[in-house]
Amino acid sequence: MRVERLVDKTQMATTREEQFRKMYYRLNGEGHKLCKCKQCGRGPMSIVADLVSSEPCDDCGAVAWRDLTEREFLSETDQGDFLKLQSFAFYQTLPFPIAVVHRKMASAPTSTQRFSRLIDLFEVVVRFVTLVILADYLNGPNEREAMIQEIPEIGRLSAPSLGDWVSLFKSLSRHYTSTNSRPFLKEIKDFKLDRYMKTLDEFVNLRNASLRGHGSTQTEAEYEIRFQENSPKLDKLIDDLEFLPNYRLVKTGLMGRHGEIHKISVQILMGDNPHFASEHLQSRTSLETDKVHYLNEIDESLVLHPYIVLELCPECKRPEVLLLDKFQGQKITYLSFESGHKPSFPTSDQLPLTVRELASRRY
């Protein structure tokens, strides 16, 4: 199935310089502007945006400020800030659940919270990729007994721990790298799982030994050391998932038909902004409406419902991107990595029967 994107011209992409400025101010304070004095050249100075027209220059007294150019940003701002901006730019191309956790980690005010968000980032990356591969696997012609032999961890989906998510990620990755199958997430066939076995296990142990698991609370200094020791390991893992920007997470809305062409309204669930932009796609093949889909580079679709959904959260009364957390009886419980809420919906009958049977037997 091939989809063509029809983007409203009013939603044209911002220029590289505009994006650079936006990321810089998100990092250093959105209420400020980075300026230089037009008269004496003093700067760069961070000035509250509302005061730019009245703030005098300390050197010459003039009230005449101009914005820094992109070149000046690159040459005169802190190199560490520039590297952070590059990181922000990359995460804006990732699915919302991953991007929003990265933003929360980057803006965390304490070492304890930053370390906690690092664990969250590891979990959301593993869980998101696992759910995409799982949705693809369960859409295939896999017999029940074959599932038991190939991916026994499916039986733990009724109440998976972080260790279970990691085990499921490992099993699904091995399945696709060792068979002649053609996964939707095609790059997973070349993923070097063995390179990251130690990192995957270390993060599970780190979580269990930290404030998020069963360990004792540490000091701020100790959490900062743990963050600095472990964040490069996660960065390396995510670097090897650099293919994720080739895909788009969307939720379909209304669909109309004009002759042989279907026009579908979609919300784009990418980047860290919870106010999701809308586009219109057109295709000769219809898409299931009111469901979350993953689109590849040629806009072929993988339906991720009911593993990943965009639904109104009963607690915060607004739409949230939710990832499957567990299921029992008639209910699926989801997790929002944005708010931490765990809403439940009576939709477990939308899971494949094989998954429900395996979970009930706890293979």
**Which pair of tokens denotes residue 235?**
């960065």
Residue-wise pLDDT for 261-293, tens only, equals 889 999 999 999 999 999 998 888 888 999 999
pLDDT higher at 156 or 1: 156
Please compute the mean of the pLDDT values over residues 315-328 and round it to a whole number.
95
For strands 301-303 and 308-312, give the pairing: unpaired
Q: Which of 66-80, 96-110, 114-128, 130-144 has the lowest mean pLDDT?
A: 66-80
- What is the pLDDT at residue 10? 37
The pTM of the whole model exceeds 0.75:
yes
Q: What is the SS3 assignment for 163?
A: helix
User: What distance in Å separates the CA atoms of residue 67 and residue 69, rounded to the nearest whole number?
Assistant: 6
Q: What per-residue confidence (pLDDT) applies to 362?
A: 56
Cβ contact 56:63 at 8 Å:
yes
Distance, in Å, from the CA atom of 78 to the CA atom of 57, rounded to the nearest integer, reads 22
pLDDT band at 353 (very low <50, low <70, confident <90, very high): confident
Q: pLDDT at residue 81 above 80?
A: no
**Residue 23 or 349, more confident:** 349
**How many CB atoms sit inside 10 A of residue 346's CB?**
10
Average pLDDT, integer, range 343-361: 88
d(C-alpha 92, C-alpha 15), whole Å: 15
What's the mean per-residue pLDDT of the chain? 85
Structural domain boundaries in the chain: 14-91, 96-245, 248-361
